[in-house]
């Protein structure tokens, strides 16, 4: 059973930056497409960014140009660099790994952006 552990969340002022990390274990990390999702209070979980096993990236329109997803297969880690943060980015951010029928989630890390 794969395991994902997020870190790097916190409180930041609007315009600031944070880098989230997601460390994977108990899986062949390089096979997996990795995603970052977020869920704000009272809202549904939404996809923020995806990176395929081959390194292709996709982003939700609201974060394009501000967030960058990357992966280091040697470290079994995926990152989300978040710049120019806005109060509306406030949410719990979750890491996800998918490959064939396998689908794993991390426990989430809180990101709070103050205005």
What are residue 82's DSSP bridge partners?
18, 67
Which residue blocks in 6-111 are alpha helix, DSSP H?
Answer: none
pLDDT the model gives residue 98? 97
Q: 72, 80, 65: which is closest to 19 by C-alpha?
A: 80
* Burial of 16 (C-beta count, 10 Å sphere; 0-12/13-18/19+): middle
Q: Would you state the pLDDT for residue 74?
A: 98
pLDDT attached to residue 41: 96
pLDDT at 84: 98
Which residue positions in the chain have pLDDT lower than 50? Answer: none
With beta carbons less than 8 A apart as the criterion, state whether 45 and 20 touch.
no
Burial state string for 28-63 with b = 16 or more CB within 10 A and e = fewer than 16? ebeebbbbbbbeeeeeeeeebbbbebeeeeebeeeb
pLDDT digits (tens, 9 = 90+) for 33-43: 999 999 999 99
């Amino acid at each position: 059973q794969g395991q994902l552990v997020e870190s790097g969340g916190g409180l930041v002022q609007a315009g600031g930056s944070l880098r989230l990390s997601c460390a994977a274990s108990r899986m062949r990390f390089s096979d997996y497409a990795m995603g970052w999702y977020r869920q704000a209070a009272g809202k549904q979980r939404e996809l923020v960014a995806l990176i395929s096993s081959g390194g292709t990236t996709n982003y939700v329109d609201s974060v394009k140009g501000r967030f960058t997803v990357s992966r280091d297969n040697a470290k079994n880690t995926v990152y989300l660099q978040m710049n120019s943060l806005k109060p509306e980015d406030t949410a719990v951010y979750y890491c996800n790994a998918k490959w064939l029928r396998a689908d794993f989630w991390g426990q989430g890390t809180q990101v709070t952006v103050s205005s």
